[in-house]
Structure 1
Amino acid sequence: MGDAAEPPASDTTWQPVEVPHSWNRIGSYLPGSPAAATLKRPIDQTQGVGWYKLTLPAARLSGAQRLWLEFEAASRTAEVWLNGQRLGSHAGGFSAFRFDATSAYRQGGSNVLLVKVDNRAPETLGVQPTLPLAGDFFVHGGLYRPVKMIVTQAAHFAMLDHGGSGVYAQTRSIDNGKAAISILSRVRNDAGRALRGQVVVRFVDRDGKEVARQASPVQLSARTDGEARIDLTIDQARLWQGTADPYLYTMVAEFRDNKGALLDSVSQPFGIRTMALDPDRGFLLNGKVVALHGVGLHQDSGQDGWALSDSDIEKMVSTIREMGANTIRLTHYQHGPVVHALADKLGLILWDEIPLVTAWTLSPDEKEAPKAVADNARQQLVEMIRQNYNHPSVAVWGIANEVDFGPNRPDFIGKAVSEVPDPRGLLTDLNALAKAEDPIRRTVLANCCENNGMPGVPDVSGITDGLGVNRYMGWYYGKADDFSSVLDGLHQKHAGQPLALTEYGAGGATSQHSDDPQGGPINASGRDQPEEYQAWLHERVWPQVKAKPYLWGSWLWNSFDFATKVRKEGDSIDINTKGLVTYDGAIRKDAWWYYRVNWSAQPAVQIAGKRYVDRAYGVTDVKIYSNAPETELLVNGTSIGTMRGCAFATCVWPGVRLTEGQNRIEARARFANGVQTDGVDWTVGRDAAAAFRIDSGAILAAADPAHRFGSDAFFDGGAPGTADTRKNRYAPFQAAAITGTANRDQAATYRSGDFTYHIPAKPGRYTVILHFVEPSAERGKRVFDVAINGKVALPGFDVAAAAGGTLKAITRSLPATAVKDGLTINFKPTVGDAIVSALEVVPIDTPRP
């Protein structure tokens, strides 16, 4: 590693590595997080120059054979030398590229290969402007996909066709079971004399039977390129039907001379299918509507970064498929051949896209993409299309993601510019290029900001065939229940353009737990991101999304946590926690199980909140995800009841009382083929079993030096708030200077408005301790009554007057008697809003059973 422009000195000590390789490892979970236990490796965030050196195996080329070096990916730029001869360079960290190494290769002797890779940020002085220029993900460095030596004859299928195979097939039509297929083959004659031959293409079914064959003559002068076009039909074609029946033929293309001798061949799986996007009906596969629901995917793991093995990728895809997803959005760049081959085999529908993310200019004075950036975008688009052309799983070509921030771009994903350039010219050019490369597949892009109330947002709709929208209501803005109206509004606005939901979701920290995910505000750019809120948001959003038949696809964000150098959120550092599975792939969060029981027909049952072991309250709702016809809950061996037909496979038993100590929670899901169970042990401490201590307005309870508090719960009405302030939603909170308390964090949060707490206390006598802080109102601006079980116990209370000003903590203690239904504590305003920062309900004698 280093920033040197020249190869390392001969006496440099080289570190042995295996390719695929990346030197980067980024992202960690905080101590105490369940995910931290399995993610143990050194952190390396270096972005710079790295050198790879290899002595190639000695071999001899026969006659006019050619030697090629193929790199499946090198990030983000690469230069290659063989025996001191520079073979070439490549700009773009996600696509394959090849070099002709024939002239530099020493037959039978020692051959030294040197590769220089560079993953420095594009704005670095002297660095080639290579996409992505910005983005909420970390660009790892290295040769993180395989490198190969390939030997061909002098005449061969095109090896320098933007990393493609040289053979490109399209299903033109399917009529009465007969499939019409067109094949374009690009060939090259590197010999010193002319060549006459033919290209033969044949299709072989799964049983090895040849079902179609056609040939086209080829005549090439010395050292020239040529093309062969073939049209053929397959009778009684068995179609590639997505996950229902992902049937694959084998397409074999052969380049032969005029005597029939084989010069070169390409063999690839091929699925026969048609795909279409309809603005009202959604996605059509072979003329039939298929509801697409899936996930976004980044190509990194906590342990290996981008240097994933085939088995790593297979495990990731298996986790996605097990969840029941039938589509993957491969974000935000071209992914490798392994995931594409798996999608072909499993029937997953893919959205492929190039890394045109957020930014397309390098300096504040540029009004449009500079030529170097535009050229690189065009290059990466052509490479993506040609390298993935024959995969039946690929449905659409994505040309951009979130280039419509306008002046609202968050600082953490790239420098904001004072005068925003217009992306529409570049997008129009890329769209036309994609259509020229592949007239059959649809083009798409994903926007972020249209109709989101942001000023200066460029309208990028209408440029591509289909439109995707990334929307985070209930997380960065708005409310979770807004999805339905927002989607309907966009569908109505773009009535002729097929619409998809390309991102939605929330962060989820597996070490953070809330007693009620609606009890307080999450912190989308900070630490408060409990696992329960993530699950709650998905539970609210998915029913709305499912009810929109016009959506041609939906992809939640994200399948796995992933690395990003711009976040310190939840229980992690440099990790985006919106994944439904942790960065190491080891923990499936509650939200994963929610989709598992909704998307997959395979039997499953899972108790939610299993990682919330040490409970703050002795009474809790118990939620079970189950797609069984009936599901039973047992607590400490006693049945709490059986539920049937739970909406969206989510069964909730409210107000389940736990006992002091360990409690065994068990779910029994009865399926037609038997019973499946799930269980967990929850613990309730002595104090928590008898008392209720509530940190009002907090989604995560602040630690208390004397007692165990829970997050806000048992409330009806009101709204959470905090005395702390911040400049914007991405900025850190500035702690308010609250006096008169040993627990500032607890005092800072509050519930305000007209609200009631329904405390499920056992019958008996209690002391109700109310904690107050006036955050900002002057005397007389906030006056309210507090009533217990319908009787006013604290009349005309003015916190500012009682405390002698703002940000001064005070308490009031009130006697109370719980009846069969517990305690009802009502906060009724007369002037302004009522408010409370915390409350405690503490027994003063032994509660009656």
Structure 2
Amino acid sequence: MNLRSSLFAAAAIFLSLLPSSAQIRGFSQQRLDDWEFSKDGKTFQKVNLPHCCNASEGNPDSYYRGDSFYRTEFEVKDTQVDHYLYFEGAAQSCKVRVNGVVLANHKGGYTPFPVKINESMVEGINKVEVICNNGENLSMAPVSSDFNRNGGLHGQVWLLKMEDLYLSPEEYGQYRLRVETPEVGPNKVTTNVRAKICNPSRTETKIMVRVQLLEPDGVLAYQADRELYVKAYSEYEFSHDFFLTGLHFWDGVKDPYLYTVRIELFKGKRMLDIADTKIGYRYFELDPRKGFLLNGKPYPLRGVSLYQDMEGKALAMDASDFRADYSTVRELGANFVRLASYPHNDLAYQLCDSLGLVVQTEIPWVNVCGVNARQNYFNNIQQQMTEMVSSLYNHPSIVFWGMWSGLDEWANSSSFQGELDTEKVVEQTGVLYEIVKEMDPVRLVGFSDDTELGLPGYPQLQADYCSQNLSYGWNKTPREFGGFREALDRVGRKWAGPVAVSEYAAGINPFCHTWNHKDLKRDPSDEARHFEEYGNLLHEAHAAQVAAMPWLGFTAVGPLFDYPVAGLREGFEDSSDGEHFTVNENRWNMSDKGLVTRDRQTRKDVFYLYKSMWNKDETTVYITGRRLLRHPRGKEFSIKVYSNASGLTLYHNGRQVSRKTSPDDPTGVVWTFSGLKLKEDTDVFRVVASDGTSDEVSLSRL
């Protein structure tokens, strides 16, 4: 067997030992299981990771804020080589001890980080202790938020054992290499592969570095071998460029084509290390008049925002949870997601890569920038931004880096850092922008504002785009919902660059209903009733206006799922007949702006509005108001249907009563059958599309 064949064989044997779809964090990696957890540091219980100290609390008025103690043991057999602990997520800050020695204090609840443990590890059994804390900390973002700041080890922890020479996990995040594509176009693609090679030994070492580009089926598309010397006790900054034509582009949801870039280190015939990452070649543009273009073609980005949260688990979602949620995103037909308010677990971005979803991701600089803020607060914000970009850089789905969200006056007070300091917002936005552009000159960097750029200095913020958290119509009548476009037009006149919408929504309790549309006006002093009918009308109006604004950079309906917010008391009265209302305490402290309930059991009506608009691969027929079970005797009412069918027929108690060939609504998916009356104690209404897809509801008399 020649050298080339033996090297390929060594790589094949090594890869065969890894679990399917494994991420290679180190040449030898061990997931640390069998953890113990405590809130007082005295009484411990066994837990598995991911874990969140708030997972069992549900949605209380207040939630646990304080220390979370974790401990486990691991074995080291060879103390002569470097070892690391790699944390996928520890909220909100954490202290790491190995054998009683503090090796790290990390401030940032959502970004992964490595801890080198050589200083305190011993041959044999080693004890690791991690103290997480999610209490208030004015020197760390987020200080205030409209989401719960949960605590704990909400990601896995890995023990990494390195060889004589290895690819560092400290410089380029958990993939240990960075793949840059500074030039991508129809005629040529430039790829730059970077990694840091560490030689902790006392001798200079000659190695061979192999760089490969692999097709999805494993076929080799490019390979280069380079020999180099790495000096003793040193780090070598490896960089390799190559130029190719005729590559298959990553083209959104219709063709999310992914290559693999792999780096292998050899010393003679012995493989020292291996790292790889999925990449996608694409180019994009955000134009103030044309909107978003992907690979040179208009590609309107329409989707949802997501929080990393699930009932019974809070932050500690596992792989099956992520896969289920993103299956729902694809069912909806969205092509864009805003991963809201903080970086999510890396698996979320892997799923977006493979599904073709374009992503905005952001750091948790939300709400607070006060006149009394100290420099250590801004240092932490810059650290979290640097960690996010370093860790997530290779994901082709990410197009937008978000610097902050909702820095306005309402959350800034003497309780935190004093009143809002708009000058500091402008200054620190500029600092963040320069940091990101230095690290990543290709992607777009922006912010999410709540004020229509109405605060001093905001129209001059340094950014590639301005997005708005804007639900125009909240606490207004449906007749006023048309102001959404006017508000965005006002932003466009103030902001010279591209404008986007990072969130629009309405509080919707899917079990609160009215047949009397005169009730459909929100009272800001009494938010107990979040009628589903009100939310339907708001979303229909907003969706129609968005469709008339193709120049928007992206729009995110938000969020996809309801999530808990301690102290929020809205939308907690239920009614199935529009007349009798009951208090449901299970809905206290819940943001009900989602399209689906937190437990994932109930898709609200508006889920099917967007599915009808976005999912062109599936015929949708959905009768709205299905949970308003009773109607007044003798009164006329309408059946409203969300559907992307070419024609609909309505049957009442089995008899055809109406047929439509087109909807009357500007969204193109809202169909209304009017002038109906109940005939029996319970009547059945069935709607059938031209291809046979159907839906039916049963309605009763009051």
- TM-score using structure 2 length: 0.87
| Deviates most, 346-355 or 187-196 | 187-196
Contact 1:138 1:564 in 2 (8 A): yes
Q: Mapping of 1:632-647 within 5 angstroms?
A: 632-646=649-663, 647=665
Pair 1:230–1:451, CA change in 2 (3 A): closer
The match for 2:150 is 140
Alpha-carbon separation, structure 2, partners of 1:443 and 1:48: 34
Contact 2:507 2:571 in 1 (8 A): yes
Counterpart check, 1:110 vs 2:125: yes
Q: Mapping of 1:192-341 within 5 angstroms?
A: 192-257=202-267, 259=268, 261-341=270-350
Alpha-carbon separation, structure 2, partners of 1:189 and 1:477: 65
Pair 1:387–1:643, CA change in 2 (3 A): same
Alpha-carbon separation, structure 2, partners of 1:235 and 1:451: 43
The match for 2:391 is 387
The match for 2:699 is 682
The match for 1:613 is 629
C-alpha RMSD over aligned residues:
2.3
Counterpart check, 1:585 vs 2:600: yes
Which of residues 172, 177, 182 is equivalent to 1:172? 182
Report the secondary structure of 1:551's partner residue.
Answer: coil
Q: How far does residue 502 in structure 1 lie from its aligned partner after superposition?
A: 1.2
Contact 2:185 2:283 in 1 (8 A): no
Percent identical among aligned pairs is 27
Alpha-carbon separation, structure 2, partners of 1:192 and 1:526: 69
The match for 1:439 is 441
Report the secondary structure of 1:640's partner residue.
Answer: strand
Pair 1:533–1:415, CA change in 2 (3 A): farther
Alpha-carbon separation, structure 2, partners of 1:500 and 1:340: 21
Alpha-carbon separation, structure 2, partners of 1:82 and 1:267: 29
Alpha-carbon separation, structure 1, partners of 2:613 and 2:353: 24
Counterpart check, 1:656 vs 2:676: yes
Q: How far does residue 462 in structure 1 lie from its aligned partner after superposition?
A: 4.0
Which of residues 618, 621, 642 is equivalent to 1:625? 642
Report the secondary structure of 2:458's partner residue.
Answer: coil
The match for 1:827 is none
Contact 1:27 1:573 in 2 (8 A): no
Report the secondary structure of 1:16's partner residue.
Answer: strand
Report the secondary structure of 1:552's partner residue.
Answer: coil
Alpha-carbon separation, structure 1, partners of 2:484 and 2:410: 21
Alpha-carbon separation, structure 1, partners of 2:132 and 2:558: 30
The letter for the 1-side match of 2:434 is: A
Report the secondary structure of 2:141's partner residue.
Answer: coil
Which deviations, in whole Å up to 9, do the C-alpha atoms of 1:139-183 show, x marking residues without a partner?
A: 111101111112211321112227343311122223444322112
The match for 1:159 is 169
Report the secondary structure of 1:582's partner residue.
Answer: coil
Counterpart check, 1:85 vs 2:85: no
Pair 1:252–1:433, CA change in 2 (3 A): same
Q: How far does residue 359 in structure 1 lie from its aligned partner after superposition?
A: 0.5
Contact 1:24 1:44 in 2 (8 A): no
Report the secondary structure of 1:540's partner residue.
Answer: helix
Pair 1:52–1:45, CA change in 2 (3 A): same
Pair 1:43–1:262, CA change in 2 (3 A): farther
Which deviations, in whole Å up to 9, do the C-alpha atoms of 1:30-57 show, x marking residues without a partner?
A: xxxxxxxxxxxx998111101011122x
Report the secondary structure of 1:250's partner residue.
Answer: strand
Counterpart check, 1:186 vs 2:196: yes
Alpha-carbon separation, structure 1, partners of 2:64 and 2:645: 49
Alpha-carbon separation, structure 2, partners of 1:60 and 1:518: 74
Counterpart check, 1:45 vs 2:63: yes
Pair 1:567–1:133, CA change in 2 (3 A): same
Alpha-carbon separation, structure 2, partners of 1:579 and 1:414: 29
Give ranges in structure 1 of 5+ residues lacking alignment: 30-41, 124-128, 686-849
Alpha-carbon separation, structure 2, partners of 1:416 and 1:582: 34
Which of residues 367, 374, 378 is equivalent to 1:370? 374
Pair 1:603–1:461, CA change in 2 (3 A): farther
Alpha-carbon separation, structure 2, partners of 1:590 and 1:526: 20
| Deviates most, 185-194 or 169-178 | 169-178
Q: Mapping of 1:545-564 within 5 angstroms?
A: 545-564=546-565
Alpha-carbon separation, structure 1, partners of 2:198 and 2:530: 57
The letter for the 2-side match of 1:18 is: N
The match for 2:27 is none
Alpha-carbon separation, structure 2, partners of 1:230 and 1:324: 38
The match for 2:468 is 469
Q: Mapping of 1:665-676 within 5 angstroms?
A: 665-671=685-691, 675-676=692-693
Give ranges in structure 2 of 5+ residues lacking alignment: 1-36, 573-586
Pair 1:564–1:153, CA change in 2 (3 A): same
Pair 1:461–1:506, CA change in 2 (3 A): farther
Q: How far does residue 430 in structure 1 lie from its aligned partner after superposition?
A: 0.3
Q: Mapping of 1:523-538 within 5 angstroms?
A: 523=523, 526-538=527-539
Contact 1:26 1:43 in 2 (8 A): no
Alpha-carbon separation, structure 2, partners of 1:388 and 1:463: 23
Contact 2:61 2:567 in 1 (8 A): no
Counterpart check, 1:402 vs 2:406: yes
The letter for the 2-side match of 1:590 is: D
Report the secondary structure of 2:431's partner residue.
Answer: helix
Higher helix content, 1 or 2: 2
Alpha-carbon separation, structure 1, partners of 2:347 and 2:39: 32
Pair 1:232–1:271, CA change in 2 (3 A): same
Which of residues 8, 28, 45 is equivalent to 1:15? 45
The match for 1:24 is 54
The letter for the 2-side match of 1:374 is: F
Contact 1:195 1:222 in 2 (8 A): yes
Alpha-carbon separation, structure 2, partners of 1:418 and 1:628: 52
Alpha-carbon separation, structure 2, partners of 1:378 and 1:218: 35
Question: Which of structures 1 and 2 has the larger relative contact order (alpha carbons within 8 angstroms, sep 6+)?
Answer: 2
Q: How far does residue 105 in structure 1 lie from its aligned partner after superposition?
A: 2.8
The letter for the 2-side match of 1:557 is: G
| Deviates most, 109-118 or 425-434 | 109-118
Q: How far does residue 214 in structure 1 lie from its aligned partner after superposition?
A: 2.8
| Deviates most, 163-172 or 480-489 | 163-172
Contact 1:560 1:582 in 2 (8 A): yes
Pair 1:279–1:679, CA change in 2 (3 A): same
| Deviates most, 329-338 or 656-665 | 656-665
Report the secondary structure of 1:588's partner residue.
Answer: coil
Pair 1:603–1:146, CA change in 2 (3 A): same
The match for 2:428 is 426
The letter for the 2-side match of 1:376 is: N
Report the secondary structure of 2:348's partner residue.
Answer: helix
Aligned residue-pair number: 643
Contact 1:280 1:550 in 2 (8 A): yes
The match for 2:495 is 494
The match for 1:806 is none
Report the secondary structure of 2:389's partner residue.
Answer: helix
The letter for the 2-side match of 1:563 is: P
Which deviations, in whole Å up to 9, do the C-alpha atoms of 1:100-136 show, x marking residues without a partner?
A: 12343333x322221100001224xxxxx22111110
Q: How far does residue 288 in structure 1 lie from its aligned partner after superposition?
A: 1.4
The letter for the 1-side match of 2:203 is: R
The letter for the 2-side match of 1:515 is: W
The match for 1:481 is 482
